[in-house]
Amino acid sequence: MTTVRIIGPGRAGLSFARALSAAGVQVCGVLGRGDDISSAADGVDLLLIAVPDREIASVAAGVRPSASTVVAHCAGSLGLEVLAGHVRQASIHPLVTLPDPGVGSARLRSGAFFVVAGDSLADTLVQALGGRPLWVPAEARAAYHAAACIASNHLVALLGQVERVAGSVGLPLAAFLPLASGALDDVARLGPVAALTGPASRDDTATLERHRRAIGPEELDGYDAGAELARRLASGAGALRGLVGATAPWS
Which domains, ranges and CATH numbers included, belong to the chain?
Answer: 3-135 (3.40.50.720), 141-247 (1.10.1040.20)
- pTM for the whole structure: 0.87
Q: For residue 241, what pLDDT is reported?
A: 45
Q: What are the pLDDT tens digits along the chain (251 aa)?
A: 899 999 999 999 999 999 999 999 999 999 999 999 999 999 999 999 999 999 999 999 999 999 999 999 999 999 999 999 999 999 999 999 999 999 999 999 999 999 999 999 999 999 999 999 999 999 999 999 999 999 999 999 999 999 999 999 999 999 999 999 999 999 999 999 999 999 999 999 999 999 999 999 999 999 999 999 999 999 975 544 443 343 433 32
Cα 109 to chain centroid distance, Å, stands at 15
Which neighbouring-strand residues pair with 117? 91
**Strand ranges inside 77-235, DSSP E:** 88-94, 113-118, 132-134
At 100 the three-state DSSP class reads coil
